[in-house]
A = this chain, B = another copy of it.
């Protein structure tokens, strides 16, 4: 069993050496660029750790892990076009550095290349892996569409929001673990449990993201906090605030989130955070993070494998909980 950082390092070394080049170079350069922007490598690490948990080796799960990271980066690439995001991990996003057409097509190619790596699985295991991966890919698209739909709406409730982040973010964490488990020859029952672990971990992960955007230590966070509030993003914090607000507070939130008005950013941020503080939104969100973390750990506990082997995955829960960025 390898620890989280060892797995990250192992995967980064592989990506470093793997060539994502080909002709025409205009198509491949953005793929190579995107994969070398780094990131936490959370999904491939989960895939590798799950395979090891059930007794497989790292090399068994490596191609699937690369396929999953390719898929994840493809979604970021296309999301950045849709969100008109100029930056990704502190560097220009692909559609900014090249152009939208290159970003669409190199994204499509990354998606196909993800399947190329998935296709390297053992023949007997490919049908199940193919099915989990494909079902998840469709769910991630559905999640992104819900997220875009929410932008057009005035109000979204908690249940709708959790469904959206489950699809957009959490199922891919679940699938990464499940695919690692399939490669590691886990039982049907354990595959269900490791998937549930990942799904709940993923929801906690996204809620923590929402929290950090408003409350992170500016220096540790590495980018401007409060961006979600300034851009009227429907986060868990805002949804919870609307749920708990009294009439006066609701009116005030509606006032500051009125798209037709051009707010002074700092004034809006201060006013909204003041309401969040009055309503204990930070604590409410933390409570929710804990709830999903607990559900994740319960699923992990139920897996019939010695506790000692679960250390890496438990450490990942802890790492995601304590992170400041």
Contacts and interface: CB of A to CB of B under 8 A. Distances in A.
Interface string A117-152: 001000100110011001101100110111011000
A109 B24 CA distance: 25
Given A78-B108, A112-B134, A119-B127, 11 more contacts: A24-B149, A26-B149, A81-B104, A104-B104, A105-B145, A105-B148, A107-B108, A119-B131, A119-B134, A126-B126, A130-B130
Nearest to A144: B105
Contacts of A148: 26, 101, 105
Interface in A15-73: 22-24, 26-27
A30 B33 CA distance: 31
28 contacts: A22-B142, A24-B142, A24-B149, A26-B145, A26-B148, A26-B149, A27-B141, A27-B142, A27-B145, A78-B104, A78-B108, A81-B104, A101-B148, A104-B104, A105-B144, A105-B145, A108-B108, A109-B138, A112-B137, A113-B138, A115-B115, A115-B134, A119-B127, A119-B130, A123-B127, A126-B126, A126-B130, A130-B130
Contacts of A195: none
A26 B82 CA distance: 15
Number of copies: 2
A217 to B, nearest CB: 34
B142 A23 contact: yes
A68 to B, nearest CB: 14
6 tightest A-B CB contacts, nearest first: A27-B145, A112-B137, A109-B141, A82-B101, A115-B134, A112-B138
Contacts of A123: 127
Nearest to A119: B130
Contacts of A144: 105
B137 A115 contact: yes
Contacts of A78: 104-105, 108
A112 B130 contact: no
A103 B142 CA distance: 13
A283 interface: no
